[in-house]
Amino acid sequence: MNVTLWIVQFILAAGFVYSGWMKTVRIESSKKTWSWVKDVPKTLVVLIGIAELLGALGLVLPWALNIAPVLTPIAAMALAAVALLGMMFHIWRKEYREIGVNIFFVVLALIVAIGRL
């Protein structure tokens, strides 16, 4: 079970690092990739990206370093909330094809949160 959770944590962290990186460092590129980025204030997009990057670190580092490992399931729950809010945003904008990624991230984050509690 531990190996499975680590695999899920790394997949989830990689997804959020990519997403966070696009929203913070590559914001012009993300405007071409995601249509919603053009309609949301840049500051909000960057803040979401920072939250995703910090959450990705929180998924891996506390448990790996055995320093406050309780932060790992907390980070997973926070990222599940971010993905759930993103899903609700896409539903509101009628961007239904985007919802699959959010569902995938919510499920993986909940698996980590439950598995690591």
Confidence label for 37 from pLDDT (cuts 50, 70 and 90)? confident
Neighbours of 17 (CB within 10 A): 17
Asked if the model's pLDDT at residue 48 lies above 90, the reply is: yes
**What's the pLDDT tens digit per position in 96-117?**
988 999 999 999 999 999 999 9
Asked if the model's pLDDT at residue 22 lies above 90, the reply is: yes
Is the sign of the CA dihedral 91, 87, 21, 49 positive or negative?
positive
The length of the chain, given as a count of residues: 117
- Alpha-carbon distances of 28 from 19, 22, 35, 46, rounded to whole Å: 13, 9, 11, 11
- Model confidence, pTM: 0.90
